Amino acid sequence: MPQLKDILYKVSLTSVSGDMETEVTTLAFDSRKVEVGSVFVAVTGTQVNGHDYIEQAIAQGAVAIVCEELPRTTIDDIAIIQVKNSAQALGFMASNYYGNPSQKLKLVGVTGTNGKTTCVTLLYHLFRDLGYNTGLLSTVDNKINDEVIPATHTTPDAITINRMLAKMVAKGCTHCFMESSSHAIVQHRIAGLSYAGAVFTNLSHEHLDYHKTFDEYIKAKKLLFDGLPSTAFALTNSDDKRGMVMLQNTKASKHKYALKSMAEFKARIISNTLQGLELDLANQNVWFRLIGDFNAYNLLAVFGTAVLLEEDPEEVLRVLSTVNSAPGRFEQVLTETDITAIVDYAHTPDALENVLLTIKEFRTGNEKVITVVGCGGNRDAEKRPIMAKIACALSDKVILTSDNPRFEEPMEIIKEMQTGVTPSNYKKTLVIEDRKEAIKTASALAEPSDIILVAGKGHETYQEIKGERTPFDDRAILKEMLNLIHKQN
Ligand SMILES: CC(=O)N[C@H]1[C@@H](OP(=O)(O)OP(=O)(O)OC[C@H]2O[C@@H](n3ccc(=O)[nH]c3=O)[C@H](O)[C@@H]2O)O[C@H](CO)[C@@H](O)[C@@H]1O[C@H](C)C(=O)N[C@@H](C)C(=O)N[C@H](CCC(=O)O)C(=O)O
Ligand SMILES: Nc1ncnc2c1ncn2[C@@H]1O[C@H](COP(=O)(O)OP(=O)(O)OP(=O)(O)O)[C@@H](O)[C@H]1O
Ligand SMILES: N[C@H](CCC[C@H](N)C(=O)O)C(=O)O
Ligand SMILES: [Mg+2]
């Protein structure tokens, strides 16, 4: 068993009392998970303060406490370690506890508002198909080679990350591709990780409920690059307004990808259809299975990453052209009808606009675009009217509905969305709170060759209402409804 002093390696300490040679059984930041011999790390949270649970942790057998504020009473036989930032200390401790697994494989972090899951999933499949043992940490799921571990977060807590990385190392993984969300960066879930490289996709409106201002959101993303060592690479999208800012203070080698501006990894879109994308990339015409202009950026980011990881460009393109996108990302739902049915995880204004613009490009005649969309509860409220406005501007019919209302009232969220609907668009907008009914109505309104987009939930297989998740899958419902209503015609 490791000793306290080993786990505290690289943690900057304010004060220390107790025996640093105490053996440690587990690490915990949740008092409810403390066991006999655990170190409890008290973290100041957004809901409660972990320092209020120190006594409970001790009662459950904690042998050491890591905290920012010392407990008011002295506690015999317990080591008390005061640090400036518990969450950050937890990151380093979790790395040390699991034997610094991120140093034993090539870990690549992907950050940005949209495209993280797409990029890491493509990278995971690419490297698996290139013959490597590979790990994945993503919104959809976590993977250690072919073993699937359900995901709870886009980027899990520091203990979970390091536990999974250690398992990847034990299973012989040489690479791991992980999403690095802005929440995770600010909350130091990634502190202590040793990245071989980091990638920036793009930045647009999202999560202002948490970060408060767009500047704070930019800063959060930038921290990933600021923390890279000189041995790592930093790859950015130089077409994005914030692309270069990300690399401004990094020690890592700097690289760019782009469709428009000058860049080391550059491509041109030759064609973009419902069957896939054809790109002129690295002086070759290559066809990919992904759909939509925005995916050209994801493919370039993936290509650049693989080349920076010293893979052969030709081989990368050969394999990448056979890889499918992540589930629920511009996923076409196959039905027995002539209606094009698309489910997409677009839950930000930028993503919704990109997906609808892509759909617009595919229209050849008078086919209608019917969009079903909602906004999540207990998340950024500012994006609600903007998303409704975009949906109206780029669709012929819009059905506003609910999407994971969480602890908010679904109709209140929809009302906020409605404030973005201009009077000229009232006629094309319907409100159907029940998402299943909304999808049913969209299916009923659709005629042959029309296009239905159900946006916001993508791969999700639940609807989250007041802390409970009930089964719900946009793809299954859309398929069921379209077949039910239109098959006999
Ligand atoms: C707002 C937010 O991000 N919260 C995350 C945060 O929890 P918190 O700070 O709110 O914790 P808290 O409930 O206040 O508790 C404070 C401390 O007291 C401890 N505690 C609490 C109760 C108790 O009885 N005993 C005890 O010790 C808690 O374990 C915690 O250490 O730290 C927790 C542990 O890492 C996370 O699980 C939790 O994610 C919540 C569930 C969440 O919904 N997060 C979302 C917003 C999120 O992180 N999303 C991003 C993706 C965003 C994107 O890019 O789209 C993600 O990476 O998933
Ligand atoms: N490069 C891109 N630029 C703009 N929009 C994109 C891009 N890639 C994907 N999208 C859109 O954003 C949606 C979410 O994509 P993806 O899941 O890859 O992003 P993410 O960054 O992982 O999101 P999250 O923050 O929820 O984890 C897609 O369904 C698509 O509509
Ligand atoms: N990672 C995003 C996902 C949003 C998906 C959408 N369906 C919602 O629930 O708002 C978040 O947690 O904000
Ligand atoms: Mg994601």
389-423 pLDDT tens trace: 999 999 999 999 999 999 999 999 999 999 999 99
152 lines ligand 1 (CB under 6 A): no
Residues 93 and 104 in one domain: no
Average pLDDT for 304-312: 98
Q: What spacing in Å lies between the alpha carbon of 45 and ligand 1's midpoint?
A: 7
Structure confidence at residue 370 as a pLDDT band (50, 70, 90)? very high
What pLDDT is recorded for position 488? 59
Q: Would residue 326 count as lying in a domain?
A: no
Question: Could you report the per-residue pLDDT of 134-162, keeping only the tens digit for each?
Answer: 999 999 999 999 999 999 999 999 999 99
Percent of the chain with pLDDT over 70: 100
Residue 487: pLDDT over 80: no
Single residue among 97, 123, 155 that ends a domain in this structure = 97
Q: Is the CB of 72 under 6 A from ligand 1?
A: no
The model's confidence at residue 210, banded by pLDDT at 50, 70 and 90, is confident
Q: Domain check: are 295 and 168 in the same one?
A: yes
Say yes or no: 390 and 366 in one domain: yes
Region 254-280: what's the mean pLDDT? 96
- CATH classification at residue 174: 3.40.1190.10
* Sign of the C-alpha dihedral computed for residues 86, 92, 98 and 102 taken in this order: positive
pLDDT attached to residue 204: 86
CB within 8 Å of 84: residues ≥ 6 apart: 12, 14, 68
Confidence of residue 12 (pLDDT cuts 50, 70, 90): very high
Instruction: Report how far ligand 2's centroid is from the alpha carbon of 112 (Å).
Output: 9
Judgement on whether residues 21 and 55 belong to the same structural domain of the protein: yes
Instruction: Say yes or no: 164 and 235 in one domain.
Output: yes
Ligand 3: residue whose CA is nearest its atom 11: 379
Residues 259 and 297: their CA atoms lie apart, in Å, by 7
Note the pTM of the prediction, 2 decimals.
0.95
Out of 204, 404, 406, mutate this one to test ligand 3's pocket (max ligand atoms within 8 Å of CB): namely 404
User: Residues annotated as binding site?
Assistant: 31, 112-118, 154-155, 181, 187, 189, 379, 403-406, 456, 460
Instruction: Report whether 174 contacts 168 (CB < 8 A).
Output: no
Classify the complex by whether its ipTM is higher than 0.90, answering yes or no.
yes
Residues 298 and 411 grouped into a single domain: no
Q: Give, as residue ranges, everything with CB less than 5 Å from ion ligand 4.
A: 116-117, 139, 154
Domain of 175?
A: 100-321
What is the mean pLDDT of the segment spanning 8-25? Answer: 95
Instruction: Give residue 68's pLDDT.
Output: 97
How far is 306 from 134, CA to CA, in rounded Å? 13
Number of domains comprising the chain: 3
CA atoms within 13 A on the CB side of 213: 3
Domain C-terminal end among 270, 300, 321: 321
Q: Tokens 């930045």 label which residue?
A: 203
- The confidence score (pLDDT) of residue 214 equals 82
Ligand 1 atom 3: the closest Cα is on which residue?
A: 183
For the chain, give the mean pLDDT.
Answer: 96
Q: How far apart are the first and last CA of the chain?
A: 68
Mean pLDDT, range 256-276, rounded to an integer? 95
Helices and strands counted in the chain (H then E): 16, 24
Of 97, 117, 142, which residue sits at a domain end? 97
Is the pLDDT at 489 greater than 90? The verdict is no
pLDDT of residue 216: 85
Tokens (6 digits) for 110: 């992907």
> What's the confidence (pLDDT) of residue 213?
86
Helix axes 86-97, 158-170, angle to 10 degrees: 20
